[in-house]
Amino acid sequence: MTSKVLPPRVMAKWIATISSYTMISRVLGFLRDILIAESLGAGPIADVFFVAFKFPNFFRRLFAEGAFNSAFVPLFAKELEIGGRQRAQEFAEEVVSVLLPSLVFLVALAQILMPWIMYGIAPGFSNEPEKFDLAIDLTRITFQYILFISIVSMLGGVLNSLYKFSAVAATPIILNICIILSLEFLSYLTDTPGHALAIGVSAAGILQFIWLFIACERAGISIRLKLPKLSPRVKRLLLLAAPVAVGAGIAQINLLIDIIIASFLPEGAVSFLYYADRISQLPLGVVGVAVGTALLPLMSRQLRSGKRDAAIVSQNRALEGALLLTVPATVAIIILAEPIIKVLFERGEFGSDDTLATSSALLVYGAGLPAFVLIKVLVPGFFAREDTKTPVLIAIFCLFINIIANIILMGPLGHVGIAVATSIAGWINALLLGYALLRQGSLRPDIRLIKRIMAILLASGIMGVIIWFISIAFSAQLESSSDVKIGILVALILIGIVSYFFVAWVLGAFIVSDVRSIFKKNDENLSS
């Protein structure tokens, strides 16, 4: 197998594929959160479920999507380049045979230690015994998710390395469907709606595993269990993963710190932050995660083939594509934060005060959105070169920034202070990553990238002015009935999209032929 020189449109196609499935998943995620908000509002059961949901996600992001996947994909790509699919498959089998028993032990240990764990992740709940006990019960159920999703992450790394992005990108859809179905049909059979939601999370892990296992079989990779053995290749994986685990751990500790602090704040703080974060995650997932997912295997294989300049060009085009969509999304979120929350969540148990509290956090998260996307695009530049230490050192520094900012801001600003601290730490992280790549000579912005960034900023500013004036003119309608305010918000978004892309096209931020080429078929067979 050889790695070919790629035209920009090929990576654009991959990003478009991942983004499309991610968009479907995020839409279903919004539906999921709307139903949760309607049923639970921002009350105690909602707070407890979000803690129970975030804790297994902590380990998923730490080990599965963080340390493990970031170290696994470059090594799997290397095996593909050196020995083809058979050698790569043998490596994957060695890895899963060590990974699976480790996960079983972790899950079993967590079940036993969960009461003590809860004192660590949500100490504020301990003042309310019923809330604390419910948090333990729900987290015990949801934590089983980590067993399956970690294997899912490895299978996803295999498929991404083969440039088979569709099945992997579609996987989160299963999670959202399971949670929606469990809330709608199991709530009447369980002690609380939170129990139904927790069961849905665990069921999703099983179904996601089955989905990607079948996808790997169809891609010609049949992974079978072997007796656990620390082969030289697995040892190399663990060696690379260790600093990434520390770095990912730092990032996830940041999130846990937010939860810990929020658990001490008045009831609803955890929920406000969760709902706001969910909105900001839409462009992050559709753009940042999509670009990072496509970029890591591509750069890994380019660098393994000695195409250093091609890897730098790939990163420039990835930055360009990410900012093209992220900057206008940031401007729109900042201007339309309150109408977005009002339209999506203000119904049932979720009232107008909840809207104001959530939209305040969303505005701040929106300001940090470009930083979070840039992190997703810049980090593959390190991992593809098997440099896992630099991002770790930067992450450790940003952890302390986040802690200090949280301590300073939580008092005067409450839950909004937590969001401010998160965004500040994100921006510092992104800037330091970019600076490090520049110093290493691994990032060389070309004239095209610089010109298009300037055009993107100007086009986004013009779009922001347009939708701000229109939102002011129709502010009364945004306070009216549900159908009317939905229509106004949709109209604002459509006007924003049309005005942005028209101005961006006039300024040369993108070229129509680049977009058209994404949808052309048979550009290049890269899976052979």
Q: Report how far residue 323's alpha carbon sits from residue 515's, in angstroms, rounded to the nearest whole number.
A: 15
Q: Length of the chain in residues, anyone?
A: 528
Whether residue 378 contacts residue 437, with contact meaning beta carbons closer than 8 Å, is answered with yes
User: How many CA atoms within 13 Å lie on the side-chain side of 403?
Assistant: 12
Using pLDDT thresholds of 50, 70 and 90, give the confidence band for residue 524.
very low
Per-residue pLDDT tens for 290-306?
Answer: 565 566 666 666 666 66
Per-residue pLDDT tens for 338-381?
Answer: 888 888 777 766 777 888 888 888 998 888 888 888 888 788 77
Whether residue 330 contacts residue 315, with contact meaning beta carbons closer than 8 Å, is answered with no
> If you write DSSP's letter for every residue of 327-368 in order, what string do you get?
HHHHHHHHHHHHHHHHHHH-STT--HHHHHHHHHHHHHHHHH
Using pLDDT thresholds of 50, 70 and 90, give the confidence band for residue 1.
very low
Q: What is the mean pLDDT of the chain?
A: 78
SS3 content of the chain, % helix, strand, coil (to 5): 85, 0, 15
Using pLDDT thresholds of 50, 70 and 90, give the confidence band for residue 459.
very high
Helix, strand, or coil (residue 164): coil
Using pLDDT thresholds of 50, 70 and 90, give the confidence band for residue 86.
confident
Of the ranges 12-21, 160-169, 365-374, which is most confident? 365-374
Q: Which helix (H) or strand (E) holds 170?
A: helix 165-185
Q: Reply yes or no on whether the pLDDT at 515 is more than 60.
A: no
Stronger pLDDT, 330 or 221, i.e. the higher one? 330
Instruction: Specify the pTM.
Output: 0.65
Residue 245's identity, in one-letter code, is A
Whether residue 26 contacts residue 282, with contact meaning beta carbons closer than 8 Å, is answered with yes
The CA-atom distances, in angstroms, between 299 and each of 4, 285, 308, 317 are 11, 20, 9, 12
pLDDT confidence of residue 288? 55
Residue 64's identity, in one-letter code, is A
> If you write DSSP's letter for every residue of 208-256 in order, what string do you get?
HHHHHHHHHHHTT-----------HHHHHHHHHHHHHHHHHHHHHHHHH
Whether residue 505 contacts residue 337, with contact meaning beta carbons closer than 8 Å, is answered with no
Residue 386 zone, left/alpha/beta (φ > 0; ψ -120 to 50; rest): left
User: Tokens at residue 141, please?
Assistant: 């159920």
Q: Reply yes or no on whether the pLDDT at 40 is more than 60.
A: yes
The residue assigned the tokens 């290749």 is 233
CA 409: distance to chain centroid?
Answer: 25
Q: Report how far residue 522's alpha carbon sits from residue 10's, in angstroms, rounded to the nearest whole number.
A: 10
Of the ranges 21-30, 345-354, 392-401, which is most confident? 392-401
369: nearest Cα among 300, 323, 338, 305: 323
Q: Reply yes or no on whether the pLDDT at 428 is more than 90.
A: yes
Query: 252-273 as b/e, with b when 16 or more CB fall inside 10 Å?
Result: bbbbbbbbbbbbebeebbbbbb
